[in-house]
């Protein structure tokens, strides 16, 4: 625990057809046993079915409610209110419940983002400043950029392609080194001071409309980009600003699982996603094990979050979402291996 510092890994099981293969132990909150089916190794050998045992900081069983998840996460939001930087990442294959866990801002049972916003609006004396961007194929786009009249016209003429058109209209952003501090910094990102929960909901909906989505085998409306929501909190008493980054990562499925009818564009998307997820794992692992070199520059995501992640008191949570559907067990095991590697020294 001491070695890991401020890094935590939680897992959440999504209800599914193969639930009997998963056993989240009650009593020891971070224990998860998974019955891995018999399989073939990459070099063609038969591997017998076996039970694999994983240990994390917390495992949410498939009947955990959104409020149960927030109960375990709200301490981090409180830390941001107290002046610390906080990063929360939702990781998992397409359809495993990342967006449900993080957002669900229009549903009856809201996720972490709307609940965190509500807590911050209630507890913080100054208006939080919200920004939202997506990283698609290693390009950064501002999801709250004002939409031009031209792209609005395009949207109404072509409702079927609305999301891709609006995302294409959003300006690309560049990361530059701040000459004063020598740290990477985003230039030109829109930031909106939030006045109420309803105001925040409107902005989240606007961002949702701008997201790049594409059809994949695993989930027809799968999101192929990372979405980074940042709330900047100014602290008048200390004249400082802390930030909380809530990141809904793109689906992590392996290329081999994706199916042969994928287009070249979709394969490129998945390669870009996987490269950036590996970069994130390597950076978090290097941070957790206090390495002297942290490979932030290996992806836009880690480079963008470098300032927050490397601050002495940054608190980081990787929230891994697992599908329990029988056909997804190999992919869920990959997610569990990824999550374990973040904590390995
Ligand atoms: N814990 C849960 N309980 C009930 N339904 C859930 C749960 N988690 C996810 N779902 C449902 O499963 C579906 C897929 O979830 P979601 O869109 O959150 O997946 P995702 O991991 O964000 O996928 P993508 O990578 O495509 O964005 C949604 O219909 C969602 O409402």
Indicate which residue's Cα is closest to atom 26 of ligand 1: 222
94 is in an annotated binding site: yes
- φ, ψ for residue 341, nearest 5 deg: -65, -30
Closest by CA position to 56, among listed 14, 4, 103:
4
Instruction: Kindly give the distance from the C-alpha atom of residue 83 to the centroid of ligand 1, in angstroms, as a whole number.
Output: 32
Please report whether residue 2 resides in a domain. no
Span from the CA of 323 to the centroid of ligand 1 (angstroms): 9
Does residue 327 lie in a domain region? Answer: yes
Residue 118 lies inside a defined structural domain of this protein: yes
98 alpha carbon – ligand 1 mean position (Å): 6
- The reply to whether 13 falls in a domain is yes
> Distance, CA 102 to ligand 1 centroid (Å)?
10
Query: For the stretch 107-130, what's the b/e string if a residue is b when 16 or more beta carbons lie within 10 angstroms of its beta carbon?
Result: eeebbbbbbbbebbbeebeebbbb
Q: Report the complex ipTM.
A: 0.97
Closest atom, ligand 1, to C-alpha of 102: 18
- CB of 128 shorter than 6 A to ligand 1: no
The CB of 8 under 6 Å from ligand 1? The reply is no
Q: Which atom of ligand 1 is nearest to the CA of 218?
A: 26
pLDDT of residue 147: 66
132 within a domain of the structure (yes/no)? yes
Q: For residue 113, is it within any domain?
A: yes
- Say yes or no: CB of residue 99 within 6 Å of ligand 1: yes
Q: Tell how far the Cα of 284 is from the centroid of ligand 1, in angstroms.
A: 25
Cβ of 16 below 6 Å from ligand 1: no
62 Cα nearest atom in ligand 1: 1
* pLDDT confidence of residue 221: 43
Tens of pLDDT, residue by residue, the chain (345 residues): 344 578 899 999 999 888 888 887 755 678 898 988 887 776 778 888 888 899 999 999 999 999 999 999 999 999 999 999 999 999 999 899 999 999 876 767 899 999 999 999 999 999 999 999 999 888 898 989 876 655 554 444 444 444 444 444 566 788 988 888 888 888 889 999 999 999 999 999 888 877 644 444 444 444 688 999 999 999 999 999 999 999 999 988 776 555 556 677 778 888 888 999 999 999 999 988 888 899 999 999 999 999 899 888 899 999 999 999 988 988 899 999 999 988 775
Domain count across the chain: 1
pLDDT value at position 245? Answer: 97
Q: Is residue 58 part of a domain?
A: yes
Could you tell me the pTM of the whole model?
A: 0.88
Tell which one of 99, 106, 270, 335 to mutate to probe ligand 1, the residue whose CB is within 8 A of the most ligand atoms: 99
Atom 9 of ligand 1: nearest residue by CA position = 97
Atom of ligand 1 nearest to the CA of 64: 1
Check residue 3 and give its pLDDT. Answer: 47
In a domain, 1, yes or no: no
Per the structure, the complete domain to which residue 148 belongs is given by 7-343
139: domain CATH number is: 3.40.850.10
What is the per-residue burial (b if ≥16 Cβ within 10 Å, else e) of 238-268? eeeebbbbbbbbbbbbeeebbeeebeeebee
Strands (E), the chain: 7-14, 22-24, 31-36, 39-40, 46-47, 50-55, 58-60, 86-91, 129-136, 139-142, 172-178, 183-187, 192-193, 226-235, 240-248, 315-323
């Amino acid at each position: 625990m001491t070695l890991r510092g401020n890094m935590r890994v939680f897992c959440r099981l999504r209800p599914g057809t193969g639930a009997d293969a998963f056993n989240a132990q009650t009593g020891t909150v971070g224990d998860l046993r998974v019955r891995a089916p018999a399989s073939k190794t990459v070099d063609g050998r038969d591997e017998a079915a076996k039970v694999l045992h994983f240990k994390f900081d917390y495992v949410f069983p498939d009947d955990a409610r959104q409020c149960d998840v927030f109960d375990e996460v709200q301490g981090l939001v409180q830390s941001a209110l107290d002046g610390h930087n906080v990063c929360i990442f939702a990781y998992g294959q397409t359809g495993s419940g990342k967006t449900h866990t993080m957002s669900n801002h229009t549903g009856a049972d809201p996720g972490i983002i709307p609940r965190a916003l509500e807590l911050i609006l209630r507890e913080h004396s100054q208006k939080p400043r919200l920004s939202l961007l997506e990283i698609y194929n290693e390009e950064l786009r501002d999801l709250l950029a004002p939409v031009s009249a031209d792209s609005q016209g395009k949207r109404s003429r072509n409702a079927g392609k609305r999301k891709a058109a609006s995302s294409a209209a959003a300006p690309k952003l560049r990361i530059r080194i701040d000459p004063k501090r020598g740290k990477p910094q985003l230039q030109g990102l829109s930031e909106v001071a939030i006045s109420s929960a309803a105001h925040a909901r409107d902005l989240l909906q606007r961002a949702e409309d701008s997201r790049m989505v594409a059809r994949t085998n695993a989930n027809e409306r799968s999101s192929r980009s990372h979405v980074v929501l940042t709330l900047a909190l100014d602290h008048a008493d200390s004249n400082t600003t802390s930030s909380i980054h809530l990141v809904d990562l793109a689906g992590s499925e392996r290329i081999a699982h994706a199916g042969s009818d994928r287009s070249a564009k979709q394969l490129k998307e998945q390669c870009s996603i996987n490269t950036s997820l590996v970069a994130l794992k390597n950076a978090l692992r290097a941070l957790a094990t206090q390495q002297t070199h942290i490979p932030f520059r290996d992806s836009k995501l880690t480079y963008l979050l470098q300032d927050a992640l490397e601050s002495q008191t940054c608190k980081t949570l990787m929230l891994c979402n697992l599908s329990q559907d029988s056909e997804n067990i190999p992919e869920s095991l990959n997610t569990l291996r990824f999550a374990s590697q973040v904590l390995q020294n």
